[in-house]
Amino acid sequence: MVGGGIVQVDSDGTRRFYSGNTKTSSDKVIFEGQSTDGTFIKTKTETSVKLISGSYCYYNPTIFLKYPDGTTIEHDALEYKGCYAEGEPITMVPTKISDRNGNQIKINYQFTTNNAPGRWINFITDTLGRIYNFNYKLVGGKYFLTGISGPGLSDENGNVVPRTFVTLDYKDLTINTNFIGLTPHVRENTVKVLSAIYYPSTQSGYWFGDDSNSSSPSYSTYGMIRKVEEHKAMGYDPATGAITAGQMSRQRVYSYPVNNNTAVSDVPAFGTLTESWEAMTDAAPVTTYQTLNDDFPRTSTITSPDGSKVVETSFNLSNLSDTDPEKVRDGLTYETKYYGSDDILKANSANCA
């Protein structure tokens, strides 16, 4: 935020906090600090400042992160703004990634048009100057990524031929839920979801384009992907952008609810994973998952198709107050046991006391 520290949000949602010191000069506010979670990431933020009509205007914010391995990441504001107020939060995005050997990746962003919200990646330039373009389509006022293209191999004249690395297609999914004691807050009842991922070089990819009314659809009506199919010999029409299914080579089905016929009292979860392959003749192997969050201690058990198991045990300190220092261990795994298909303990790993 302007005039203070930063909170880093990783791709998996993990939040990393930084502590440090702020320095202020006549034309700039600088914050220097380090991550507080033991990852030893250093940061430096710079924000320009000027006085306009008796009020301070903060602008042009930048963030630099330096990792222990020498990697540095530079960030700029997600949306350009003439002036930020002191203490105002600013969403920052990476614009340049450099490793300790000097190799760089630069990320160029493009603002949306037609009043569509947000900002998207326009192209990426690697350390050799090669450009990789991100292609989009505008549907219902929103931009959806349809493909990534870049330089391919050279032709007989030495000219680099452009190549499409991946193509994406979408379909509509209507969200239908049935919760007990919970009130869902859904931004939109009908959303765009992936119907296919296609790799032109191999004519293979992933297919999610089956009918939502089938007995085993790719998506649950709650919105999660419940079936993942890998396909070969897929098709693509460059005129329409439509991707067609090929032949299934591998399928994974997670036991999320197909529909909302049965009410649930918590976030839907899967208890089994059933896998199958092209031309298989044996019964489909099933992996089961069981998590007992309300037990003391908590346990999570994964049972493989051959009967072998992995059992993780974690603290359940949910009954402690938030001010109790022991509460930080709530959910922390402290023991992992490995059982063979004969149900005999093969190994025991204690992670912490």
pLDDT, one tens digit per residue, over 194-230 is 999 999 999 999 999 988 778 899 999 999 999 999 9
pLDDT tens per residue, range 147-162: 999 999 888 898 888 9
pLDDT at 1: 63
80 or 49, higher pLDDT: 49
Claim to verify: residue 321 and residue 290 sit in the same structural domain: yes
Task: Show which of 233, 249, 282 is a domain's final residue.
Answer: 282
Supply the range of the domain harboring residue 334: 285-353
Mean pLDDT on 236-255: 95
What are the beta bridge partners of residue 217? none
Claim to verify: residue 3 and residue 27 sit in the same structural domain: yes
Q: To the nearest whole number, what is the mean pLDDT of the chain? A: 91
Non-local CB neighbours of 177 within 8 Å, separated by 6+ positions = 184, 186, 221, 222, 260
pLDDT at 4: 65
Mean pLDDT on 257-275: 95
pLDDT at 215: 86
Claim to verify: residue 33 and residue 70 sit in the same structural domain: yes
Residue 277 lies in a domain: yes
Q: Is the peptide bond before 285 cis (omega within 30 degrees of 0)?
A: no
Q: Is residue 120 predicted with pLDDT exceeding 90?
A: no
Claim to verify: residue 273 and residue 293 sit in the same structural domain: no
pLDDT at 198: 98
Claim to verify: residue 66 and residue 34 sit in the same structural domain: yes
Non-local CB neighbours of 82 within 8 Å, separated by 6+ positions = 57, 59
Claim to verify: residue 187 and residue 72 sit in the same structural domain: no
pLDDT at 84: 87
What is the number of domains present in the chain?
Answer: 3
Task: Show which of 263, 282, 301 is a domain's final residue.
Answer: 282
% residues pLDDT > 90 (the chain): 69
Residue 252 lies in a domain: yes
Residue 138 lies in a domain: no
Q: How confident is the model at residue 112 (pLDDT cuts 50, 70, 90)?
A: low
Non-local CB neighbours of 19 within 8 Å, separated by 6+ positions = 5, 33, 34, 36
CA distance 160 to 132: 13
Claim to verify: residue 269 and residue 208 sit in the same structural domain: yes
Residue 275 lies in a domain: yes
63 or 81, higher pLDDT: 63
Residue 321 lies in a domain: yes
pLDDT at 353: 55
Claim to verify: residue 242 and residue 294 sit in the same structural domain: no
Q: Is residue 13 predicted with pLDDT exceeding 90?
A: no
Task: Show which of 244, 262, 282 is a domain's final residue.
Answer: 282
- Provide the CB-side half-sphere exposure for 183 (13 A, CA): 0
Claim to verify: residue 159 and residue 229 sit in the same structural domain: yes
Q: How confident is the model at residue 10 (pLDDT cuts 50, 70, 90)?
A: confident
Would you say 223 and 249 are in contact if contact means Cβ atoms under 8 Å apart? no
CA distance 27 to 22: 14
